[in-house]
């Protein structure tokens, strides 16, 4: 059953340098209990998507399309309803969110506050629930009494996860939740997120540039480039045998240790991710694409079927050219 449905999402920031189209027509669904991994490099629009779902974008940003959460259109709902939806329906765990903890308030009180404000329990009951939440994220309940400075980075990120779970949402949006953490702690937090997700049947939108992390936690993967999804499909298949040349380059940046194909052979793309204000014509990836051919600079590829449950926006996907008007004709 579809929990989150995003249709033709377009987001344009208004800046002093003019409008910046950060997201240019995104559509995706997340089922209940499903984890969708959203991959892409800085500036591709992935965090913008995360923020748009709960309407956390700066004032004046132009948002088009539709975001349906449990059937309700988030983009048009009243502010009062939106406040209820945040936390109780969907909650966000940000990168470096641990810095968002109030340094002079005990962590127990901070989590309880969210529960009380959303009318889910009285203060006393809320604190009991917080103890349980902390246990669930692998912290001893006595930590309720601690101030943020008494916790390590990994522990703070656990607190942020507990806070996201406080009002029992059905969707967690995790935007680079482990990027600022050390390798060992990152693995611990990922394992925790994954086991909570399974245990509570949570749906998750997991966003990171690190494809290898995504493939570990996600059921499906969507790869973004220049504000659009350019490939999607089952996580392991997209990572293991990417169809789009950009996904291929991205996957190659995360080598499998022991795999001789990567040994002393770093592979990467020339050029840089495009400036959202100057997106190349046709396929936005064509200036960097190692296999670009004649029609690529003029034809915008849609997401073509690319195997079972897979789609890729590349004219080289088998059968894609059938859909394309003949170049130069």
Partner 1 sequence: MSVEEHEVADVVLDVRNLGVTFEGRIGLIGGLMGRKGNDARAVDDVSFELRRGEVLAIAGESGCGKTTTARVILGLQKAQQGQILYEGRPIGSLRKFRRRVQMVFQDPTGSLNPRQTIYEIVAEGLRIHRIHRGANGESEEELVARALSRAGLRPPKRFFLLYPHELSGGQRQRVVIAGALVLEPQVIVADEPVSNLDASVRGEILRLLMKLRDEDQISIIIVTHDLGLAWTVADRVAVMYLGRIVELGPAEDVLTKPLHPYTQALLDVVPEAEGIDRPILAGEPPDPTRIPPGCRFHPRCPEVASGAAGEIGVEPKCRAEDLGLGELRPGHLAACHLANATVHGGDGGTSRTAVPPGERSAG
Strand partners, 4: 30, 69
If the CB atoms of residues 171 and 192 are measured against partner 1, the closer one turns out to be 192
If the CB atoms of residues 273 and 282 are measured against partner 1, the closer one turns out to be 273
Residues of this chain that interact with partner 1 (CB under 8 A) are: 41-42, 152, 154, 182-188, 190-191, 194, 209-213, 215-217, 235-236, 239-240, 246, 249-250, 252-259, 262-270, 272-273, 288
Minimum distance of partner 1 from residue 317's CB (angstroms): 20
Q: Which tokens belong to 76?
A: 């048009």
If the CB atoms of residues 122 and 201 are measured against partner 1, the closer one turns out to be 201
* First vs last C-alpha separation in the chain: 44
If the CB atoms of residues 60 and 258 are measured against partner 1, the closer one turns out to be 258
Degrees (nearest 5) of the Cα angle 250, 253, 258? 135
Residues 271-299, buried b or exposed e (16+ Cβ, 10 A)? eebbebeeeeebbbbbbbbeebeebbeeb
- Parallel, antiparallel, or unpaired for β 228-234 and 220-225? antiparallel
Q: How far apart are CA 103 and CA 65, in angstroms?
A: 39
Minimum distance of partner 1 from residue 92's CB (angstroms): 21
Residues found in the chain: 329
- Residue 146 and residue 103 in contact, taking contact as beta carbons nearer than 8 Å: no
If the CB atoms of residues 11 and 35 are measured against partner 1, the closer one turns out to be 35
**CA-atom Rg of the chain in angstroms:** 21
Minimum distance of partner 1 from residue 90's CB (angstroms): 23
- Distances in whole angstroms, Cα of residue 260 to Cα of each of 154, 173, 266, 269: 34, 36, 11, 20
- Parallel, antiparallel, or unpaired for β 311-312 and 228-234? antiparallel
Minimum distance of partner 1 from residue 156's CB (angstroms): 12
Minimum distance of partner 1 from residue 75's CB (angstroms): 30
Minimum distance of partner 1 from residue 87's CB (angstroms): 26
If the CB atoms of residues 271 and 305 are measured against partner 1, the closer one turns out to be 271
Q: Which tokens belong to 248?
A: 């291929």
If the CB atoms of residues 253 and 327 are measured against partner 1, the closer one turns out to be 253
SS3 state of residue 167 = coil
Minimum distance of partner 1 from residue 229's CB (angstroms): 16
């Amino acid at each position: 059953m579809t929990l989150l449905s995003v249709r033709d999402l377009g987001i344009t920031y208004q800046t002093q340098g003019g409008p910046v189209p950060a997201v240019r027509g995104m559509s995706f669904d997340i089922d209940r209990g499903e984890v969708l991994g959203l991959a892409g490099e800085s500036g591709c629009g992935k965090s913008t998507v995360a923020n748009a779902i709960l309407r956390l974008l700066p004032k004046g940003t132009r948002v088009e399309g539709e975001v349906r959460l449990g059937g309700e259109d988030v983009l048009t709902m009243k502010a009062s309803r939106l406040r209820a939806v945040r936390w109780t329906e969907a909650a966000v765990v940000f990168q470096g969110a641990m810095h968002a903890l109030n340094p002079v308030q005990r962590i127990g009180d901070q989590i309880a506050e969210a529960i009380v404000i959303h009318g889910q329990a009285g203060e006393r009951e809320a604190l009991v629930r917080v103890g349980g939440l902390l246990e669930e994220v692998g912290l001893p309940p006595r930590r309720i009494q601690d101030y943020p400075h008494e916790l390590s980075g990994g522990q703070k990120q656990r607190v942020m996860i507990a806070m996201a779970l406080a009002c029992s949402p059905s969707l967690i949006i995790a935007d680079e939740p482990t990027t600022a953490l050390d390798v060992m702690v990152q693995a611990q937090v990922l394992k925790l997120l994954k086991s909570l997700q399974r245990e509570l049947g949570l749906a998750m939108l997991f966003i990171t540039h690190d494809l290898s992390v995504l493939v570990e936690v996600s059921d499906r993967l969507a790869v973004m480039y220049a504000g659009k999804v350019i490939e999607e499909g089952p996580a392991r298949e997209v990572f293991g045998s990417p169809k789009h040349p950009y996904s291929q380059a991205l996957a190659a940046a995360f080598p499998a240790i022991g795999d001789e194909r990567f040994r002393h052979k770093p592979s990467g793309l020339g050029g840089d991710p495009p400036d959202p204000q100057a997106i190349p014509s046709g396929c936005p990836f064509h200036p960097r694409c190692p296999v670009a051919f004649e029609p690529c600079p003029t034809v915008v590829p849609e997401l073509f079927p690319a195997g079972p449950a897979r789609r890729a926006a590349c004219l080289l996907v088998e059968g894609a050219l059938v859909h394309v008007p003949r170049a130069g004709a």
